[in-house]
Chain A
Amino acid sequence: MATIVAEPTGIPVVEEHHEMSFIRKYIFSSDHKVIGIQFLFLSLFFLLVGGLLAMLMRWQLAWPGRPMPFGGLFPETMAPDGIMLPEFYISLVTMHGTFMVFFAIMLLLVGVYANYLIPLQIGAPDMAFPRLNMLSFWTAVPAGLIALASFAVEGGAAGAGWTSYAPLSGMPEYSGVSMGQQMWIVSLVLLGLSSILGSTNYITTVINMRAPGMLWTRMPLTVWALFITAILGLLAMPVLSGGLIMLLFDQTIGTHFFLPETGGQPLLWQHLFWFFGHPEVYILILPAMGFVSEILSAGSRKPVFGYKAMVGAIVAIAFLGFIVWGHHMFQSGMNPVLGTSFMVSTMVIAVPSAIKTFNWMGTMWRGNLHFHTPMLFAIGFVMLFVIGGLSGIFMASAPFDIFIHDTYFIVAHIHYVLFGGALFAIFAAIYYWFPKMFGRMMNDRWGKIHFALTFIFFNLAFFPMHTQGLAGMMRRLYDTSGYTHTADLQGTHLLITISAFALFATGVIFAINFFGSMFRGEKAPPNPWNATSLEWQTPSPPKHGNWEQAPVVYHGPHEYSHPDVTDKDWLAQNERPDVVSPAGH
């Protein structure tokens, strides 16, 4: 290849659009960037809610039966005299899982970044169906509000775990919760609808709206990950919706799908739930893996190691993700022969994750590592996801799962993959794309402090849960001190709780940095990280319609340190390999 002279194309000359009303522009907007930012605020709010619920749980676990600070604010039905009731604890666990999985992490990964990044990274002016996109956001809002409101109704919020196993979830007589359980279902049906509409949009957009030259093999790994994630959502979500509707009917109109009295099958609910649920946990990690690949590559100033293998691994994880759901049911009374086959497929699914892990290391190898905040969080992601993934191997082994199923070992796994994994990648992504979204940089020093403290307190809070699990401590226990084999673990609980409070405090640091930078941050250049993908070749923030003149793509997505480019260490995807003729205006 001849020497490449950089000639950026596609930075639009901005023409002022006629004024839109505030409502059309920021509330009922159909611009994918606005919708992405709306999702960002919504999901951070639910992250905060989920975090607050976790703090209440941790209080009870460390000091069972001791009145909570501000406990007087709670009504008699939750915490008389500030002392938490068992039923309230169960609602907290359930809603903590629900908010975190469905409303915080899923919306952060997919709602925010699929909306914001897909059109920008493939060079499209907007989504394929902008108004459908708006509808998708405005279905997610009431879904979240209904879930939140369920704390206020009689009987309290749902109390059957985020997995809502029947018959406990199907019969108010058993759980003491009726309205709350129904609101939980309605909320998730709405969220499922929102997610299906969104997925339809993302898939169509990626298939049909890529800019000229944006071949499948030139898509940034983020787009690949979001595309495959959308397929998972599209095919898994409706199965949950179907199951939820049957569960709702069991509660309300007297059907008996999951209630054994007249031949219903409790295990059917578990099969339906996990047929959705396992792909769901990959929905919660694949986009994170995409962000991390991209940020690691930019931070290391190197192309992603083994791009094709990375794409193949994403596809393989998605495909295998549909055939492993039974590993959540090893001890459920499922046919043990099925247990064997699910165990083997679960083992196999770790292989593509191994490919990804080693390719990330390959990307860092012989790089020129810039430790800015997004890079730190991305490296943190790899270090912590691996721990969570490896603990998954213990559970994947069905005979050992006999012992650790439904113990804190699982809780440790959940948080290593979802917090250490997904949430770390989300922090990386927020720091990385914040300048594009808001036109200002986030404070890097406070970002690094946030990273360091989060990394430390995260491990202090969740690593000890492995040992609690190995000691046999069960999950979803209001008070763990009553069992002889775990009675001496109260000290560990204390350590965890204090670290969890500190962890929440690091969230506050982040929040201050986030809002502070939005108004006071340093003005961001179009491409602060010297990155290659298309979104960086527009102003920060990009204007309505994204491009004045459509970008044309000439290169792969992560071309850093190309030997033929000598004046800088990156090559934007839309830089022409020569300057024979300037792109026509």
Chain B
Amino acid sequence: MEAHAMPYYGGRAPEKGLAVYTQKVGMWVFLCSEVMFFTGLIGSYIILRFGASETWPQPGEILNIPVTAINTFILICSSVTMVKAFAASEMGDKRGTRLYTLATAVIGAAFLGVQIYEYSELLGHGFGPWSGLYGSTFYTMTGFHGFHVFSGVVCMTWATVKAFRGGYDNGNYQGLEVLGLYWHFVDLVWIILFTIVYLI
């Protein structure tokens, strides 16, 4: 994991940079671009909504707030298990590492399940992406968020397998920390989405 570290330089350290290990820098840099991607989508939502505020549906009129609130809670839980998995790995708690990575993958998948249920309900009531600006923005934003969760779940499944094979033992926690950054970021985006799409 410590790519191209000290040995290469024959004992002289490369310039310090951000003072954290390279994979973590890479993930933060990548997340900056993710911020701008969601800015494009969420910003368009805000702008379009301002232009059509009279016709915009009231919160709860179309979307099901209680179900989504529970789903929000589910995603928050997955963030806790994620961070627990990292902590366990860092402290050398092998059992914890395995359990918590598995839990994170499962809870993440549960979030997706609820979202699929929500979509099918809405579509059943005839509310689709073609249903005006509200439908367009709703499905695009939550859909791309869901796609991010899906990618996260795929990675977590892979990480779980790796954890059960001992891949994160012996202080090898960086992989989980970096994956965790992504996971928490996706959680963070959901927090914003939940507020502005469902509640306001």
Point out residues on A near B: beta carbons under 8 Å. 124-126, 128-129, 196, 199-201, 203-204, 207-215, 234-243, 245-246, 249, 253-257, 262-265, 268, 272, 549-550, 552, 584
Contact = CB atoms under 8 A, between A and B. Distances in A.
A253 B128 CA distance: 9
A268 B129 contact: no
Given A200-B26, A239-B40, A257-B48, A234 B33 contact: yes
A398 B76 CA distance: 50
15 contacts: A204-B22, A208-B14, A212-B15, A213-B15, A234-B32, A237-B33, A242-B44, A246-B44, A254-B129, A263-B51, A265-B47, A265-B48, A268-B48, A272-B44, A552-B12
A124 B22 CA distance: 13
A203 B4 CA distance: 16
A239 B140 contact: no
A124 B25 CA distance: 16
A126 B55 CA distance: 55
Contacts of A214: 14-15
Given A262-B133, A265-B48, A549-B10, A207 B18 contact: yes
Given A210-B15, A238-B36, A128 B51 contact: no
A212 B133 contact: no
Contact of A236 (B8, B36, B55): B36
B10 to A, nearest CB: 6
A268 B47 contact: yes
Interface string B5-20: 0001110111101100
A272 B44 CA distance: 9
A211 B12 CA distance: 9
B132 interface: yes
A126 B8 CA distance: 12
A235 B14 CA distance: 27
**Sorted from nearest, which 7 A-B pairs have the closest CB atoms?**
A242-B40, A254-B130, A255-B136, A238-B37, A208-B17, A210-B15, A212-B12
B34 interface: yes
Nearest to A233: B33
Q: Is the interface of B mostly helix, strand, loop or mixed?
A: helix
A127 B78 CA distance: 33
A210 B22 CA distance: 12
Contacts of A246: 41, 44, 136, 140
Given A238-B39, A263-B52, 18 more contacts: A128-B22, A200-B30, A208-B17, A212-B9, A236-B36, A237-B36, A238-B33, A238-B36, A238-B40, A239-B40, A241-B37, A241-B40, A243-B40, A249-B140, A254-B130, A255-B130, A257-B133, A265-B48
Nearest to B28: A204
B14 A255 contact: no
Nearest to B137: A257
Contacts of B39: 238-239, 242
B3 interface: yes
B8 A550 contact: yes
B22 A235 contact: no
B33 A196 contact: yes
Given A239-B36, A245-B144, A257-B48, A211 B129 contact: no
A293 B172 CA distance: 44
B29 interface: yes
Nearest to A219: B15
A204 B24 CA distance: 9
A200 B14 contact: no
Interface of B: 3-4, 8-10, 12-15, 17-18, 22, 25-26, 29-30, 32-34, 36-41, 44, 47-48, 51-52, 55, 128-130, 132-133, 135-137, 139-140, 144
B69 to A, nearest CB: 26
A265 B129 CA distance: 16
Contacts of A212: 9, 12-15
Contacts of B136: 246, 249, 255-257, 264
Contacts, number: 140
B110 to A, nearest CB: 26
A209 B5 CA distance: 9
Contact of A129 (B26, B33, B128, B133): B26
Contacts of A584: 10
Contact of B8 (A125, A210, A235): A125
Nearest to B47: A268
Contacts of B48: 257, 263-265, 268
A123 to B, nearest CB: 8
A528 B32 CA distance: 40
A245 to B, nearest CB: 7
Contact of A234 (B13, B29, B41, B137): B29
Contacts of B26: 128-129, 200-201, 204
A124 B48 CA distance: 47
B30 A242 contact: no
A349 B3 CA distance: 40
A249 B26 CA distance: 31
B29 A235 contact: no
Contacts of A196: 30, 33
B32 A235 contact: yes
Contacts of A550: 8-10, 12
B78 to A, nearest CB: 24
A212 B3 CA distance: 16
A129 B135 CA distance: 39
A211 B133 CA distance: 52
Contacts of B130: 253-256
B121 to A, nearest CB: 19
Given A214-B15, A239-B37, A262-B132, A200 B22 contact: no
Contact of A253 (B8, B17, B32, B129): B129
Nearest to A202: B29
Nearest to B130: A254
A339 B67 CA distance: 45
A211 B144 contact: no
Contacts of A552: 12
A203 B25 CA distance: 9
A260 B129 CA distance: 16
Contacts of B55: 263
B4 to A, nearest CB: 6
B14 A211 contact: yes
Contacts of A204: 22, 25-26, 29
A207 B25 contact: yes
A256 B13 CA distance: 54
A196 B8 CA distance: 28
Contacts of A242: 37-41, 44
Contact of B44 (A129, A234, A257, A262): A257
B129 A125 contact: no
Contacts of B128: 254
Contacts of B40: 238-243, 272
A109 B3 CA distance: 27
Contacts of A210: 14-15, 17
Given A210-B14, A254-B129, A265 B51 contact: yes
B119 to A, nearest CB: 13
B66 to A, nearest CB: 27
Contacts of A125: 4, 8
